[in-house]
Copies of this chain bind each other. A is one copy, B any other.
Amino acid sequence: MSSFAHQRHKPPLPLDRPRELVVACAPMKSHVNLSHIVRTAGCSGVARMIACGNVSLDAKITRDGADQVALEIHRTLPPVLRELREEGYRLVGLEQTTGSKLLTEYAFVRRTALVVGNERTGLTDDLLALIDDAVEIPVFGLPHSFNVATAAAMAMYEYCRQFPRG
Q: Do A65 and B13 touch (CB < 8 A)?
A: no
Q: Do B141 and A44 touch (CB < 8 A)?
A: yes
Copies per complex? Answer: 2
Residues of B within 8 Å of A44, CB to CB, are: 140-141
Say yes or no: is A90 at the interface (Cβ < 8 Å to chain B).
no
Summarize A's interface: helix, strand, loop or mixed. Answer: loop
Chain A interface: which size bin? 35 or more
Contact of A158 among B11, B68, B157 (CB under 8 A): B157
Say yes or no: is A79 at the interface (Cβ < 8 Å to chain B).
no
Q: Do A131 and B99 touch (CB < 8 A)?
A: no
Please provide the chain A residues from 116 to 149 with a CB less than 8 Å away from any CB of chain B in the complex: 122-123, 125, 128-129, 131, 134, 136-147, 149
Could you name 23 residue pairs across A and B whose Cβ atoms are closer than 8 Å? Answer: A2-B125, A3-B99, A4-B100, A6-B122, A10-B139, A10-B144, A11-B144, A12-B139, A39-B143, A42-B141, A43-B137, A43-B139, A43-B146, A64-B142, A64-B144, A65-B142, A67-B142, A68-B143, A104-B160, A140-B160, A140-B166, A153-B153, A158-B161
Which residues of chain A have a CB within 8 Å of any CB of chain B? 1-13, 15, 19, 36, 39-40, 42-46, 61-65, 67-69, 93, 95-100, 104, 122-123, 125, 128-129, 131, 134, 136-147, 149-150, 153-154, 157-158, 160-161, 164, 166
Known: A2-B128, A43-B141, A45-B140; 10 extra A-B contacts, CB below 8 A, are A1-B129, A4-B95, A4-B97, A4-B100, A4-B134, A8-B95, A9-B96, A12-B142, A43-B144, A138-B160
